[in-house]
Amino acid sequence: MNITLQVWRQESADRPGRFVTYQVTDIEPDMSFLEMLDVLNERLIAQGEEPIAFDHDCREGICGSCGVMIDGLPHGPQLGTATCQLHMRKFRDGDTIVVEPWRAAAFPVIKDLVVDRSAFDKIIEAGGYISVDTGSAPDANLIPVPKEVADTAFDAAACIGCGACVAACPNGAANLFTAAKVAHLNLLPQGQAERWRRTEAMVETMEQYFGSCTNHGECEKACPKGISIDFIAMMNRDYAKAKVKNRRLLSQSN
């Protein structure tokens, strides 16, 4: 395959960026999109040019490190697929492909296709964990969890935190990411002790960095794990309850 790439190049966060065109020849259709970028970078290095910076790690659709806009779509044209799992056979010989970083105010560009997603870390730091001391690990199946609850929590926990939902959202909202992280803890027995504090803290931290959700639904479509926007409704319900419950607890403590 021979393709033309229009890649966003930006030296640093405080420098202007621009699209640069590259002709990439002799690409195998079974290469992943990231492997194709590897080939291009090897050729750029051999020519004494600066390679294209992009995020990656496991390359198995698990870690959430990768993620770029490909022809205006987060992770590219194949739904339910991270960038590292997208293969060049999804494109045609001679295609021109536009590659950009995530476009969101909360994800400033660091260099080329690499963005700063630390705003996600702030949300997790606010409450995306269980800190209750439960002692040693209990025997398996000691705590009964209904299968429907376990399955739903697992669906939420599938979120890899790649940021495609934010990049796809016209408002740059992170509600799907936050809702998934809230739900997979709030649904399980171990998460109940901190449920209301967790929900309020994570939602309000999210609102400091990201736009508001207006139910466009683009986040669900762009998510490589197919996480449902139903979780956003669950989070909104828990947030409303949390404001009442936490205020009551505060008044009782005073």
My answer on whether 137 and 169 are in the same domain is: yes
Residues 183 and 105 in one domain: no
Statement to judge: residues 153 and 186 lie in one domain: yes
Same-domain status, 121 and 246: yes
pLDDT at 132: 73
Q: What is the pLDDT of residue 245?
A: 87
The alpha carbon of residue 215 and the mean position of all alpha carbons in its chain are separated, in whole angstroms, by 18
Residues 34 and 130 in one domain: no
> Residue 70's pLDDT band (boundaries 50, 70, 90)?
very high
Statement to judge: residues 247 and 129 lie in one domain:
yes
**Angle between helix 147-157 and helix 175-186 axes, rounded to 10 deg:** 140
Q: For residues 107 and 123, state if they share a domain.
A: no
- H helices of the chain, in order, are 33-46, 118-127, 147-157, 164-168, 175-186, 195-209, 218-222, 230-253
In this structure, are 149 and 194 located in the same domain? yes
The verdict on 186 and 101 lying in the same domain is: no
Asked if residue 137 and residue 220 are part of one domain, the reply reads yes
Q: 209-221, pLDDT tens digit by residue? A: 999 999 999 999 9
Global confidence as pTM:
0.93
Residues 91 and 142 in one domain: no
Supply the range of the domain harboring residue 135: 117-253
Spatial distance between the Cα atoms of 32 and 55, rounded to a whole number of angstroms: 14
Tell me the CATH number at 194.
1.10.1060.10
Digit-coded pLDDT (tens) for 149-200: 999 999 999 999 999 999 999 999 999 999 999 999 999 998 999 999 999 9
Q: What's the confidence (pLDDT) of residue 253?
A: 61
* Residue 30 sits in the same domain as residue 144: no
